[in-house]
Amino acid sequence: MGDMENQNDIIERMNARYSSMSKSHKLIAAYIEEHYDQAVFMTAAKIGETLGISESTVVRFASGLGYDGYPEFQQALAEWVKNKLNTVHKMGVKYGKSSQSEIINSVLSADMEKIQHTIENLDVAAFETAVEIILNAKNIYIIGIRSCEPLAEFLHFYLHMIRGGVQLLCSTSVSEMFEQMIRIDENDAIIGISFPRYSMRTLKAMEFANDRNAKVITITDSIHSPMNLYSSCNLLARSDMVSIVDSLVAPLSVINALVVALCMKRPEEVKNNLEQLEYVWNNYQVYLNDEINFIDEDNMFHQSSLKKE
């Protein structure tokens, strides 16, 4: 097999084939995705032993991805890891001779371009559907792993201000994650947030939710993202690697827009929730007004009335 087309090739192959994999092959893909730094040194027999499956199953997994055998698969994985480590060196080459102002201009300009690209390509109908799903679901589960975790926490914080029944799925264990969402059903919704390198844990959570007939919303970067496999509502936001840092400015803007749209739909409910919080803080001496900047009611209702006009 020739050189990998790009450093994500082996991961992209696993993601692209994930939905059609057998249960044991999904297990292998998830393990390699989560433990690539260890898997690169492991034989097929060792991976099989670790996962409680046969060595031949691991070999068939490699063949199913288009490799001639496990050694070639392992070599491709080693190449991917090597390229990942070289990213730091590439950053030095790109920015090594730049002044601080040139770096900030370059990075911020790139972020502006990503937001502009997102504006031009966001599916408005999908956005409106997402708002309705979030408003009407009995329970909402939110998941974002690794660099997407701050996005998931941010969304959870504000959705909790707007409505009840919002749960952030946070666990390094796949089994714990399923325990947290074991009661999900057709009345509920899940919001999965994932960008390259795509998270298998997030994909598994969305697959499980889809199997339970829950509504599935994804915030991801492309129509080619594996996150769209189980999603009925795709919100696409441009996100590229800036050196070793994931640029999450555009997805954060999409999340901000979701929160504002939800507030516009339920202004009275949001106002009541905030008033209740203020009452609790005052009466139980947990007064955090210095940290919380309440939504400007006049401004909120002014925007709401403008929309109606």
Residue 141 lies in a domain: yes
186 & 280 share domain: no
Residue 104 lies in a domain: no
In which domain, by residue range, is 289 found? 267-308
169 & 54 share domain: no
Residue 249 lies in a domain: yes
CATH number at 254 reads: 3.40.50.10490
Amino acid in the structure at residue 11: I
Residue 107 lies in a domain: no
168 & 213 share domain: yes
Domain limit, last residue, from 264, 283, 300:
264
In angstroms, rounded to a whole number, what is the distance separating the alpha carbons of residues 41 and 26?
Answer: 20
82 & 198 share domain: no
Query: pLDDT tens, 163-183?
Result: 889 999 976 667 778 888 889
Query: What's the mean pLDDT when you consider all of the chain?
Result: 78
pLDDT band for position 281 (cuts 50, 70, 90): low
Residue 146 lies in a domain: yes
130 & 71 share domain: no
191 & 298 share domain: no
Phi, then psi, of 26 in degrees rounded to 5: -60, -40
Based on the structure, what is the number of domains in the chain?
A: 3
73 & 131 share domain: no
In angstroms, rounded to a whole number, what is the distance separating the alpha carbons of residues 142 and 121?
Answer: 24
Q: What is the mean pLDDT of residues 160-165?
A: 84
Residue 206 lies in a domain: yes
Residue 112 lies in a domain: no
Q: What is the mean pLDDT of residues 114-138?
A: 87
221 & 300 share domain: no
**The dihedral sign for the CA sequence 208, 212, 217, 221:** positive
Query: pLDDT tens, 235-271?
Result: 888 776 544 456 788 888 889 888 888 888 777 777 7
**Measuring CA to CA, which residue among 25, 24, 2 is closest to residue 14?**
25
Task: Tell me the β-bridge partners of 246.
Answer: 241
157 & 29 share domain: no
164 & 209 share domain: yes
Q: What is the mean pLDDT of residues 120-144?
A: 90
236 & 132 share domain: yes
**Measuring CA to CA, which residue among 241, 222, 251 is closest to residue 148?**
251
192 & 275 share domain: no
pTM above 0.75, yes or no: no
Residue 116 lies in a domain: no
pLDDT band for position 16 (cuts 50, 70, 90): confident
User: Do residues 110 and 236 lie in contact, with contact meaning Cβ atoms separated by under 8 Å?
Assistant: no
Tell me how many degrees the CA angle 126-194-28 measures, rounded to the nearest 5: 125
